Chain A
Amino acid sequence: LVHRAAIVGAGHTRFGALEEGPRALLRSATEAAFASVDRGVERREVGEVFLTTIGFGGWQIGNVAAVLAEEARLVGVPANRVENACASGGFGLRAAVRALESGGTDLALVVGLEKMTDLSSARRRYWLGVSGDTEWERSAGLTFAGVYGLIASRYLALHGLGREALAEVAVKNHANGARNPNAHFQKEVTREAVLAAPRVADPLGLYDCCPVSDGAAAVLLARAEVARKFTDTPVYIDGIGAGSDHLAVQERPELTQFAASRRAAEAAFRSAECEPADISFLEVHDCFTIAELLAIEDLGFAGPGGAAPMTLEGATRSAGRLPVNPDGGLKSKGHPIGATGVSQAYEAFLQLRGAAGARQIPGAERCLLHNVGGAGATAAVTICVAG
């Protein structure tokens, strides 16, 4: 089996409504990633840097990768910006793996960033909507909450379910987030509170939605062949896959499946030469509770409608047979848009090295990371293996 690349270092800021500006966040995440490399790393060994961000609010929309190079003290190195809305991070990982596979460099830095809470509420809601279809779906009065609300209504009706299945996702992810010191929300919620929250986009209530968060995450990726120069316990990336779909949900034949996720998962499993039964835990893109149920099915861990009973039975809790989002997921950890996919890789780095502390999944050997752009227009899947 061929490893495609290895994570040899990773860093993460707190997620939440933070004082720090974007430059400070880039600096903290990057410094932490460099400091985490067991045998150290010379900055000149990094041959490529990737910044994954949507450019939220308009702060330095163009050429922002140069700012990452500055804050990482890597001015001069080829700097790339990767943007696929909420899937920016996953696609950035993929781009870095491809760069390493091509042999152009031994080491690449991927940093995901978003600074979202320094905007007026109106401007924030403008930015939150512009990654969906503006011409048809937005002009009918939908933001992403609305689009996922439509999807949830169909899913619940199709499978004869109530809102409890959605609420259970929120309860479980908040319980996980309570054990993650970087999470935006570090408190548990009750099912009753989730069900009683104001409806933002029926059947989705406020607690079915991820928060608006600031934060950054960074990983140092090495060519698989040189990984052990940096650490005895690299986390290998064996599988990487991605896909796309129509931007507007109204143009897709299936409302309760994301074809982009399915395509990405198939490609990732094929390249990693493994199958769902080999996976110890999942990090999935739960921007809304319904999205976690779709993800479990799209990634091949349940048939249509099967994710709801799995969740209600507790199978996806950290002590269950298939832990999902042990770090709290987007729902509780927070969702600084461009940082999310990289944050998932950070969690893989901790869990597969047995360093996840209170939220450690015992015996975790292989995990799958799933990152979705908007309401499924783009998706990236990464499969990581303990070294």
Chain B
Amino acid sequence: MVRPLLRAARYVPTSLHDGVHVAAADEDAFTEIVTALERIEPLASTPGSATDIELVAPFPEDLSWAFGVVVGSDVSLVFGESTGAALAASLTAAERGSGPDCLVLVSDGPPVRPPDPSTGGGSAGPAGAAAFLFREGVGQSLEGQLESVRAEPSALSAAFELGRRLAPSEPGIWCGEWVTDEAQGPSLDPAASVQFREVDPNRVSEGAYVPADRYRESLPSRWRFVAEKCSECGALTFPARGTCRNCGRRERLLPEPLPVNGLEVVATTVIGSGGQPTEFDPQVQALGAYEVVLAQVAPGVRVTLQVADAEPGSIRIGDRVDTRLRRLYPLEGEWRYGRKAVPSVRRTTA
């Protein structure tokens, strides 16, 4: 019998402003699931080892490749609808399973596809995710807990409630948080609920045109900071592009995941007053400005990151930032995702 070992949960609170729910504009069901996964990984004994993933989420099946990139390997992904009944079924199956580690991911939130340009746009709503990792011989049985889960119409609220009940018995392994209470959430500007609108494809592209194929082949670098390490000279090349930047070698370049948290800021700028590319106009209109930093990821490796969840101008050179997968902007009917910087729990250089 395997038991749920670790759970992670995160919920982006919605706040009511003038009767309208608002939430961080660059988060959705997908980014929240990734956040939950990344919270589990460092605590699991063999990170990224889960090969079976049950997804209880309103998620289009044709995006399953995206989870393979996030986990860094091929995964067998089972999709389920986002109801308490579906969650209870997935948890029961996972607990009975005897094979490799299994993850059950639960999510709810705004659609992971951008709105149709012809309809003029849609807003980001509340997003959240929870995750349960099952391991042999540890943890607590879910027996007797699932009846109420089954009765919940929303899988996410059922997952939060279950996590809340299980957590006290395993205080050392709960790594989640949930904030559904308006008072506990970070204060969010109502304008942060950005109305995203994709540029009409019949007009000339006004966004940085990175074709879908080029975007997808860069995803290990973009989403997980996977560099190439030269087995000959040891140099790191990031983003990975098949040639060692130091010695020019094109063979035996090994994938090397770099840290995604605790990165030192080496330069920073606040973009506003027309200094933004046109695809970021809605963001500047809504928020006034945004900050972009250059952060040191590893020796010889730096990455450019937009800052989220912080007042523009609040990050200083020498500060540490963590990173999260977020929405960047829509192009050709797809959200483009990438990592953004958020203030680190370790704010300053040690």
The docked-state distance in angstroms from the alpha carbon of A138 to that of B210 is 10
A188 in contact (CB, < 8 A): no
State the majority secondary structure of interface residues on B.
Answer: mixed
Which single member of B215, B267, B290, B336 contacts A141 (CB below 8 Å)? B290
Taking a contact as CB atoms under 8 Å apart, the answer to whether B304 and A198 are in contact is no
Max chain B C-beta neighbours (<10 A), residue from A129, A198, A248: A129
Taking a contact as CB atoms under 8 Å apart, the answer to whether A154 and B266 are in contact is yes
B242 in contact (CB, < 8 A): no
B25 in contact (CB, < 8 A): no
A171 in contact (CB, < 8 A): no
Task: Give the chain B neighbours of A161 by CB distance below 8 A.
Answer: none
Q: Give 1 or 0 for each of A195-236: 1 = CB within 8 Å of chain B CB.
A: 000111111101000000000000000000000000000000
Q: How large is the interface on B (under 10, 10 to 19, 20 to 34, 35 or more residues)?
A: 35 or more
The docked-state distance in angstroms from the alpha carbon of A135 to that of B207 is 11
The docked-state distance in angstroms from the alpha carbon of A204 to that of B269 is 9
Max chain B C-beta neighbours (<10 A), residue from A136, A143, A251: A136
Taking a contact as CB atoms under 8 Å apart, the answer to whether A149 and B239 are in contact is no
Task: Give the chain A neighbours of B290 by CB distance below 8 A.
Answer: 141
Taking a contact as CB atoms under 8 Å apart, the answer to whether B218 and A137 are in contact is no
Task: Give the chain B neighbours of A154 by CB distance below 8 A.
Answer: 266-267, 294, 317
A271 in contact (CB, < 8 A): no
A58 in contact (CB, < 8 A): yes
The docked-state distance in angstroms from the alpha carbon of A142 to that of B208 is 10
Q: Which of B273-308 contact A (CB under 8 A)?
A: 273-278, 280-281, 283, 290, 292-294, 300, 302-306
Task: Using CB atoms, name the residue of chain B closest to A137.
Answer: B304
B39 in contact (CB, < 8 A): no
What is the distance, in angstroms, from B153's C-beta to the closest C-beta of chain A? Answer: 38
Interface residue ranges, A against B (CB under 8 Å): 58, 122-123, 125-126, 129-130, 134-143, 145-146, 149-154, 157, 198-204, 206, 248-251, 253, 255
Interface residue ranges, B against A (CB under 8 Å): 204-210, 214-215, 218, 238-239, 245, 266-278, 280-281, 283, 290, 292-294, 300, 302-306, 313, 317, 328-329, 336, 338
Q: 5 tightest A-B contacts by CB? A: A149-B269, A200-B275, A138-B208, A202-B270, A150-B267
What are 25 inter-chain pairs, A to B, with CB distance below 8 A?
A126-B278, A135-B210, A135-B215, A136-B303, A138-B208, A139-B328, A140-B328, A141-B280, A142-B277, A143-B276, A146-B276, A149-B271, A152-B269, A153-B267, A153-B317, A154-B267, A154-B317, A200-B272, A201-B270, A202-B271, A203-B269, A249-B294, A249-B304, A251-B302, A255-B294
